[in-house]
Chain A
Amino acid sequence: MIPVASIATPEVDWLALSPPLALLAASAICLLGAVLVPVLARRAFSATVAGAGFVTAAVLAGFVFDRSPEQKLLIAESMTRDRLAALAQIILAVAGALAVLVSWGDRRRDHVGEYYALLAAAGGGMLFFVSAENLMTLFLGLEWFSIALYILVALDTHRKESLEAGLKYLIVGSFGSAILLFGSALTYGATGELGFNAIRDATGADDPLFVAGMAMIIAGLAFKASAAPFHMWTPDVYQGAPTAVTAFMSAATKAAALVVTLRILVTAFPEQAEIWTVAVAVLAVASLVIGNLAALAQKDVKRMLAYSSVSQAGFMLIAIAANTPLGGRALLFYLIPYGAASIGAFAVVAARERELARPVTLTTLEGWGWERPFFGASMWVFMLSFAGFPFTGGMIGKFYVFSAAYDAGWWWLVVIGVIATAVSIYYYLAVVRAMFMRPASARADLVVAGGSPPAEHALSVAVGAAVVITIGSFFFVQPLIDLAADAVASLPF
């Protein structure tokens, strides 16, 4: 018999892996709870466990951030422990925790345990995804959180929009994953390497297949970030999915995909920067143009916010196209108010949706801002942040993005970004207009379903937290930018 100690086991840095593991554990406990916990207590149990999982993950990621001044590669160089990953994990975990609060008031009768289990699993996948350091773990993380999201989107099995959205997301998302996988294969074929750092150092970079592989990796990630022209699924999925899931996706999926895009392009493909910066700039312009123009025509608020998220992706891609540390800081800063405003806006939509038990359009929002001033004023803050108005972090984010673009010599991107912002004001303020400037509709079908509106304490806490983050990131730019600068320092610019 061989003593166990004599088997050479790889050294595992458990602290670095702990944030996704915390969420996996939360997910497993929720699944067990779905069977073992009595149905009356199941919602409270699952939500608490999932919320605790996200909070724990955020705290652990904070520890990792604090203790990782230098980048360290883990597990046969397949994962990375660095501040970029840790900061992204904090943002994602906070987004997840807010999404749990938004979900709490959902009057869901069945699949409660599964819902929170999947939410925690999706979060865990994203946390894993942003610390990927080679093409295999990248794909693994992508599929991990995508599969969880496919199910979450379709979880309202009694609504056909939800099922339709789930199917669309599954088909288009799988297509995107396949492209990413194909691109990874081509890259591996050209270089014989999987690790991002190894790809950079490998020879054979002049192979046309290598460039094709890089392009397909960008396209695959653009699907997840819902950047045009890979955004086709976004409006239908955002509209059809349960609103709490939409809130989570709009903030977290996009953040994860964009952070990984930044990491892989800067780490693995610095030699090809002249190609990919142009490609990313083109994606940015396409997203800004398509997202904005389509959003102008929307009446359904969730669809409008979906197209708005496409155009917001455009702004963040501008920061990536800059290919400078300033651009990296701009991206990470932008994600903070964007994520908060996005979750907050969908949370407010969810509140109205639960009151009326029907889709939220500009018409069904009429006069509602005066009825529920807290939600009205909060929605106003979120729209102002999206549109880049003062006293919200959205304005500072746009300023950083434009500064990064100008600094990198992309002055025409600044001009396009500015024009896109001007266009976007029309539809962002349309929400404010509906909520405050039109009288409350007297239509009988717009009275609150089932008597007085239910108290939404958890959702209000989420909205309040989102307001605090959105406005706070305007006043406390320096500490946030310091964090972003530390995170970007782990990239080889």
Chain B
Amino acid sequence: MLTTLLIVLPLVAALVVWMTPLPREATAALAVLVMLTEVALWIVALAGFDFGSTALQDSAQHEWFSDLGVQYLVGFYGFSLWLAGLTVVLGAVAVGYAARAGRERPRAYLGLMLFLVGAVVGVFASQDLLLFYVFFEAMLIPIYVLVGVWGGPGRVSATVTFVIYTMAGSLLMLASIVAFGLSQGTFSLIDAGTSGNDWIFLGFAVAFAVKAPLFPFHGWLRAAYTESPPEVAALLSGVVSKTAVFGFVWIVLRHFPRPVEDWRTVILVLAAAGLVYGSLLAFRQQDVRGVVAYSSMGQMGLITFGIFATNDLGLDGAVLHSVSHGLVSAAMFLLAGMLIERTGTDRFDRLGGMAKGRPALATLVLVVGMFTLAVPGSSNFAGEFAILAGVFDRGWGYAAVGAVAIVLAAMYTLRLVSAILHRTRGDAVRDEARDLGPGELLLVVPLVALLLALSVWPAAISERSFPGDAPAAAVTEAAP
């Protein structure tokens, strides 16, 4: 019931926001209130959650159509509860940002944001393959419009590229779902067994590789992340990309152990390529959002390392790093948005010298930057360390590449921080560009506080994601 409420509340709120002609302020207040309720509901779910149990919790089940055995089956496991928590927190912050920034046509905009949050929570809660597909696809509908209507100058081509890439991937997944579900006789992820079919496996793997994105499926990434409004970019890189993590862990690893063994090297090499390539591209970008976009691609490569290490260490690290990366990249995109509000640009050659007289902005950019480059002691460091230790089992080369990429992360992050804050003052930076106000701090500081809390206690997530290490065990058992 609680899970259903978490999914349905934002979706219904979206309908209400679309249909009732409320004034701008009331709409914004309603949307923020719904998202805060959503966070509260999640906390209730967290408080009642038994992290020692391997069973599906807070589950709800309802027949949908019986002749093909498709049902509405939702609930949470440890790791998916964390991913859902990331979603509601970032959703609340993003809706708050949108409410504050005052977008044109607020009812349409905020309704779409709520719809997106509901769909992503639905992805993390689904335990039926067709239901999973429903929410996975449903995410595209709001994103398509949010980017295409409210984005930057290149928004239409950005959104078309994004939708065509991801639809091509997810339609192949639909074919795989049909084949897998009918051959298993059930679409339930709980009841389904394993399959050794490489083609079905590839249908799923490519869909998630596009969503993540993994090299070489990242063609949509830069335009989609930089053309969309900052709060939408925050949700895209923060939570939408994490649906790929859920898919890899809960569908690919558990149900295709044999193909995972066979294709592991390919995937790890692609992840390594994406990690290095994304980091190098991030180093070459001339704008804040470009750096964060490609940095996200690199970090998704790192998370993929952890997943396809298929051992406890790697998987725990992958979930922890998914959450910390989600928080970091969302914070970065929001900060970029606040910069653009002040200066009209996020290009490095027109920024600089902003630290002077703007202590709050400088502190937040620097702190979030430190998390991005995974300074030892941070939650990102803990996640990356677990991932690299996990992938070391699969070959020291991967760990070496990962270590190199962490150095690259330090390089592009420091370049970003100094380009905004230090050097001579850029021509776009005027004296009127104020420091962050209380409203803006209210949005970013909670994210930083969560990052700090996770740094103090990373085990909150890493030791509470996979009781009984189900996905890793599934692959290990199938290994010859």
- A contact residues vs B (CB 8 Å cutoff): 326, 329, 370, 377, 384, 389-391, 395-396, 398-400, 402-403, 406-407, 411, 414-415, 418-419, 421-422, 425-426, 429, 432-433, 436-438, 477-478, 481, 485
Contact = CB atoms under 8 A, between A and B. Distances in A.
A399 B130 contact: yes
A384 B141 contact: yes
A438 B159 CA distance: 13
Contacts of B63: 478
B65 A481 contact: yes
Contacts of B167: 421-422, 425
Contacts of A400: 68
A468 to B, nearest CB: 14
B138 A391 contact: yes
A390 B137 contact: yes
Contacts of B148: 433, 436-437
B138 A399 contact: no
B269 interface: no
Given A399-B130, A437-B149, A481-B65, 20 more contacts: A384-B141, A389-B140, A390-B137, A391-B138, A391-B141, A399-B68, A399-B174, A403-B178, A411-B179, A414-B179, A419-B171, A421-B171, A422-B171, A425-B167, A429-B163, A432-B144, A432-B145, A437-B148, A437-B156, A478-B63
12 contacts: A329-B67, A390-B133, A390-B134, A402-B175, A406-B182, A421-B167, A425-B167, A429-B144, A432-B145, A433-B156, A436-B145, A437-B145
Contacts of B130: 399
Nearest to B136: A390
A219 B360 CA distance: 74
B137 A403 contact: no
A481 B67 contact: yes
Nearest to A415: B175
B457 interface: no
A414 B171 CA distance: 10
Nearest to A474: B134
A415 B203 CA distance: 11
A407 to B, nearest CB: 6
Contact of B171 (A418, A426, A436): A418
Interface of B: 18, 63-68, 105, 130, 133-135, 137-138, 140-141, 144-145, 148-149, 155-156, 159-160, 163-164, 167-168, 171-172, 174-175, 178-179, 181-182
Contacts of B67: 326, 329, 481, 485
Main SS of the interface on chain A? helix
Contact of A389 (B18, B137, B159): B137
Given A406-B179, A406-B182, A418 B137 contact: no
Nearest to B115: A391
Given A425-B164, A478-B66, A389 B138 contact: yes
A418 B168 CA distance: 8
Given A433-B156, A477-B65, A390 B138 contact: yes
A426 B135 contact: no
A432 B145 CA distance: 9
Contacts of A390: 133-135, 137-138, 141
B141 A389 contact: yes
B137 A395 contact: yes
A485 B65 CA distance: 12
B146 to A, nearest CB: 11
Contacts of A326: 67
Contact of A418 (B66, B155, B163, B174): B174
Nearest to B138: A390
Nearest to B107: A373
A407 B159 CA distance: 35
Given A370-B105, A390-B137, A426 B160 contact: yes
Contacts of B138: 389-391
Contacts of B156: 433, 437-438
A419 B174 CA distance: 11
Given A384-B141, A390-B135, A426-B160, A402 B178 contact: yes
Nearest to A400: B68
A429 B168 CA distance: 14
A402 B130 CA distance: 13
Contacts of A415: 175
B178 A433 contact: no
